[in-house]
Structure 1
Amino acid sequence: MQLQVLKRRWLSLLHHITGEHEWTVDGETYSCSHGTLTGDQCLRTRWLQCGSPSFKALKSLIENKSLIRDLEQMTLFKHTGSLEVYHNVILKFAPKRLHFTYDTMLARTKLAVLDHNENVGRFQAVTRAGAPRYKKCYSRSAKEWILKNMYEKKTNHYARELLRRTKKTNHYARELLRRTTENCTGINFPSNISRSVHPVSIAPEPAPSKEELLSKRRSRT
């Protein structure tokens, strides 16, 4: 958002809070972005009076020069969600709790980049009826149940291509390629490998329905 547009919208609060929803500045007419208020809504809303102590106090905050200068930085704002996703992919290939040599770390980081680039553009998964799919999670920071988007399944074409290029010279790579191609079907893994177990939920209360969570969900995008 351009700085001038952001400043104009910020200063427009001084009009809205007094019940003025259309005004003129430098010959240009502007209006609030909300819909037309009914007469009953206007009467029931306690608008601030121009010149009142409350209005003057709020006006001094809105027109604060230091705050308005900070608005310029807000026009450059970008949330770090995509970067956090990339960092999570790196942690899967190179967990912090393990030590790797430089060459190993370099190779694992390159694999993480290939994996991320192949799957970064996935769309949100949908049900058979075409509705977006979500999963319920308990947020430690918010201390409440929230919904997270579910995305289409990841692919690993880059890994198959790497294995294909090395299968002629490496027996281990040939075996990995076979398992990848067969999607592990029919492979008997050792019995001492423990099966994954879903951890006990950290939530202090049962999860509400997805419909209830969806009604109050807000997205950063």
Structure 2
Amino acid sequence: MEAIKKYVEDHKERFLEELFDLIRIPSVSSRSDGKEDMHLAADHFKLSLLSAGADHAEVKETSGWPVVYGYKMVDEAMPTVLVYGHYDVQPAEPLDLWDSPPFEPEVRDGKIFARGADDDKGQLFMHVKAFELMNATGTLRCNVKFMIEGEEEIGSPNLKQFCKENKELLKADIILISDTTMIAQDIPSITVGLRGLSYLEVEVTGP
């Protein structure tokens, strides 16, 4: 545990800068003119996986935005964890409701404010860095695979087909989803199911 704490302490400034660089990419999946940014975000995660210790990482094209796939095989006899997350974000509009530019991270009261700082770049980045830490400290006790898509915010229209075409690559004993919530900051939560997307617009009038 001390080695883990020391690694975090020694590298926390680098971790933050790498996360900020990722957040600065406006990878809005619903924008038809965002091809460059979407591929930039995918490439960023591919390189992050490789630098974290992955044996292999690649950007795999789909009919829509690409999927990043990577893995680290420690021992075939060990269990395999598949980490899922997404690099796309929602549009930042309306911009006038932001207190700071949405794609320029700002730290206030110990919290990062920016589009994607939470959903889902921050959470996914945490798992990539945990993977790096375990590799660096020799504490990785399982095989790890990553599947990082770019269409979660638009309903993942190509993910099902991607999984069908790559089911051998994605074989795992457990899936860890980097895209859920906590009841409170000091209460760990385990989410066991997700129900998709629902968009509503409510207009309230009155005296």
TM-score calculated relative to the size of structure 1: 0.19
Relative CO higher for 1 or 2, CA cutoff 8 Å, sep ≥ 6? 2
Question: Quick check: which has more Rg, 1 or 2?
Answer: 1
Q: TM-score, normalised by structure 2?
A: 0.20
Structure number with higher helix proportion: 1
